Amino acid sequence: MTTPRNMYVQQIEAVLEEGDLVEFVRANGVFTHHGVYVGNGEIIHLGLERKDNPRNLPSLLSAPGRCEVRKDKLTDVAKHSDVSVNNRYDNTIQPFTKTEIVKRAYRRLGEKGYNPLFYNCEHFATECRYGKPLSSQIERLEEVGKLVVDTGLELIKDRAFPAGIKQLF
C-alpha cells in the first residue's frame, strides 16, 4: 500500500500496519526519511544516536559513525513533516510477512553505520521489508548524474573534435 502524500501523523496512524514503510518528507521535499512501523505508534529507523540528537532532529548528511538503528515514537520522528506509507516496491518485489519485517527491524536495533549514498535510512527500511537495500532517492540521483555526464560528453564531442573524428564516437 502507498498512501497519498501530505498526510499528518494522526491520519497515517489510522491506516498503518506493522511492517509498513513510513516516509517523512523533510526540507520541503528535498529529501525524505524512512522507517519501519512496528506497532504501538513506534517505528524503527536509522537515525542519529540519541546522545547526539536528544530531540530527534532530522539530519541529511550525518557522520557515518554517529547513526544507529533505533526505535522511536512515530510522532517524535515526524515532528511537523508530512508522512506517508510507502511500500513502493510491493508491485515488483514480494515483501516478507508483517511479522518477519518487524522481527528483521528489531534484530537490527543498536547497529551503527550510515552513508547517505550507499546505506541510508531508506536502504535500511527496504532491506527489512524486502531483503534488499534499495533507495529511490539514490536511484533518482543516479539518473540525474547519468544525464549530466551524458550531456557533458555530447557537448565535449560537439566542440572538441573535427567532423571526421566525431564518427569514432
- What string of DSSP letters covers the chain? -BPPSSB-HHHHHTT--TT-EEEEEEGGGTEEEEEEEEETTEEEEEEE-TTT-TT----SS--GGGEEEEEEEHHHHHTT--EEEB-TTTTTSPPPPHHHHHHHHHHTTT-B--BTTTB-HHHHHHHHHHSS---HHHHHHHHHHHHHHHHHHHHHHHHHS-HHHHTT-
The grid coordinates of residue 113 equal 553505520
Q: Residues 87, 163: one domain?
A: no
Residue 157 CA: distances (Å) to CA of 150, 154, 167: 11, 5, 10
Q: Residues 129, 142: one domain?
A: no
Q: Residues 97, 128: one domain?
A: yes
Q: Residues 125, 144: one domain?
A: no
Q: Residues 88, 75: one domain?
A: yes
| Domain count within the chain | 2
- Per-residue pLDDT band for 1 (boundaries 50, 70, 90) equals low
Q: Residues 73, 87: one domain?
A: yes
**Span between the terminal Cα atoms of the chain, in Å:** 45
pTM of the model: 0.72
Does a structural domain hold residue 3?
Answer: no
Does a structural domain hold residue 123?
Answer: yes
Give the tens place of pLDDT for each residue, 28-75: 777 789 999 999 999 999 987 555 444 444 444 445 567 899 999 999
Q: Residues 167, 148: one domain?
A: yes
- Per-residue pLDDT band for 141 (boundaries 50, 70, 90) equals low
CATH number of the domain encompassing residue 30: 3.90.1720.10
Does a structural domain hold residue 1?
Answer: no
The residues with which 32 forms a beta bridge, in sequence order, are 25
Q: Residues 140, 128: one domain?
A: no
Q: Residues 148, 72: one domain?
A: no
Q: Give the structural domain span for 74.
A: 9-134
Q: Residues 130, 151: one domain?
A: no
Q: What is the dihedral of CA 54, 12, 35, 56, to 10 degrees?
A: -10
Does a structural domain hold residue 129?
Answer: yes
Does a structural domain hold residue 2?
Answer: no
CA gap 35, 26 in Å, rounded: 13
Q: Residues 52, 113: one domain?
A: yes
Q: Residues 112, 72: one domain?
A: yes
CA triple 133-104-1, angle to 5 deg = 65
Does a structural domain hold residue 4?
Answer: no
CA gap 159, 153 in Å, rounded: 10
Give the tens place of pLDDT for each residue, 73-122: 999 998 888 899 999 999 999 999 999 999 999 999 999 877 665 688 99
